[in-house]
Amino acid sequence: MTGQPHRVAGAYRLRRLRTTEHFFTVPLDHADPGGETLEVFARDYSSLEHDDDSASRLPWLLFLQGGPGGRGNRVTSLSGWMKEAAKSFRILMLDQRGTGLSAPVNRQTLPLRGGAAEQADYLTRFRADSIVRDAELIRRQLGSGPWSIFGQSYGGFCALTYLSLAPEGLQEVLITGGLAPLAGGADRVYRATFPRVEARNREYFDRYPQDRERVTAVARHLDAVPEYLPSGERLTTGRFQMAGQFLGGNTRVDALHYLLEDAFVQTPTGQRLSDTFLEQVATLVSRATNPLYALMHESIYAQGEATNWAAWRVLGDFPQFAPEAAEPLLTGEMIYPWYFEQDPALVPLREVADLLAAKSDWPALYDLSRLAGNTVPVAAAVYRDDIYVERGLSLETAGQVNGLQVWETDEFHHDGIADDGEAIFARLLGMVRN
């Protein structure tokens, strides 16, 4: 590599915290360290309860966020799990490659790589294996010994890859809602999660019976009456079903009720969807801020096989989720090929997405023998009713990682750390240090 491998871009003080901005130079392809490079961004946070000298000597905690395609959290004060972690750590919030300020990937930047084939080839270097190797390089550039990592959702998938590729860089590992299946491919995942999402729909409609009728009314209205999002494209029933993202949360599930109560207004031309409703739905159904999620989502399960739009194929066995169903259910995290026909942020990337879905030689993300012999302390929260990372598959994975301790709970859903992050983080940290 050439150039400065690590530079500090700025340091600031906010409300009860200090933060420093870092840029790191990493190889695009870690198998070719002398080739093309990327600049990866991270921001560290520490509490002002530690003086400057003490803060500089705190051990590092790397946070690996959910996704793929989500940038590191931007915070202006310490709360939730970060407030708890900052008592004893200096937190490094990483923009994983392709997100935030780390060589961002979207419809605007990808054409710089060339045509669809070149873009797809470029994106093959944006999975967990590359993210982990970035992290190991960053750890060494910071001069840190083995550090602690905390992985939420997809961040937990990355943590398992870290344990497979570079366990020598790890002091301890905490995982929430992120024990990925180690084998079986994407089809297996969706055959497990579609029933979970259906059960969560039923639970929601039992809680808010009037919303069953509202969801059906919105779906049938969209079939009959053109309604347009503020960005100009038509809202379809399929995209409206993406509001099921709310079902993955504890308190967010109730926010779905508030969304639906604003759905209709009376106008001189009859009943229409309200501007309030359409504005809120627009933020749910667009991938403009994280197109990498749609492009790479199924590849996070791929190891030596093509995904071939797994969720779309498996959906055929669950017709209750089809937009044309008599009472369509709301969907979860599944990505369908028609997203790349209806979302303006994704339309230019349809051919790229098809090439990635057809790729059949994805390298392995996990080393099963190394995980079986693991010696790094690991603790994981498994949410019993998680609609995104299925409980049974999570427990299967837990049994394949030596020494991994599981805290199984039905108190939280997938975004548990947003509800009581302080307690969850403290519990997991206590488990690995017991």
**What percent of the chain is helix, strand and coil (3-state, nearest 5)?**
45, 20, 40
Alpha helices in 34-153 (DSSP H): 52-56, 80-85, 116-123, 128-141
Report the alpha-carbon distance of residue 296 to residue 356 in Å, rounded: 8
User: How long, in residues, is the chain?
Assistant: 434
At 91, list the tokens.
């937190």
Name the catalytic one among 32, 52, 53, 361.
361
**Cross-strand partners of 277:** none
Q: Are 178 and 155 in contact (CB under 8 A)?
A: yes
> Does 153 qualify as catalytic in the annotation?
yes
Provide the terminal-to-terminal Cα distance of the chain, rounded to the nearest Å: 41
The SS3 call for residue 23 is strand
**Cross-strand partners of 43:** 21, 93
**40: phi then psi, degrees, rounded to nearest 5:** -110, 135
At 29, list the tokens.
């392809």
> Does 414 qualify as catalytic in the annotation?
yes
Name the catalytic one among 221, 297, 413, 414.
414
Report the alpha-carbon distance of residue 97 to residue 103 in Å, rounded: 6
**180: phi then psi, degrees, rounded to nearest 5:** -70, 150
Q: Which residue shows structure tokens 């004060």?
A: 77
Name the catalytic one among 102, 130, 153, 394.
153
Q: Which residues contact 241 (CB under 8 A, 6 or more apart)?
A: 219, 321, 323, 328, 329, 330, 331
**124: phi then psi, degrees, rounded to nearest 5:** -65, -15
Report the alpha-carbon distance of residue 76 to residue 386 in Å, rounded: 29
> Does 297 qualify as catalytic in the annotation?
no
Which pairing describes strands 37-47 and 90-94: parallel, antiparallel, or unpaired? antiparallel
Report the alpha-carbon distance of residue 385 to residue 202 in Å, rounded: 13
DSSP codes, 128-179 = HHHHHHHHHHHHHHTT--SEEEEEETHHHHHHHHHHHH-GGGEEEEEEES--
Q: Which residues contact 403 (CB under 8 A, 6 or more apart)?
A: 374, 375, 376, 377, 378
Report the alpha-carbon distance of residue 302 to residue 318 in Å, rounded: 22
The residues annotated with a catalytic role in the active site are: 153, 361, 414
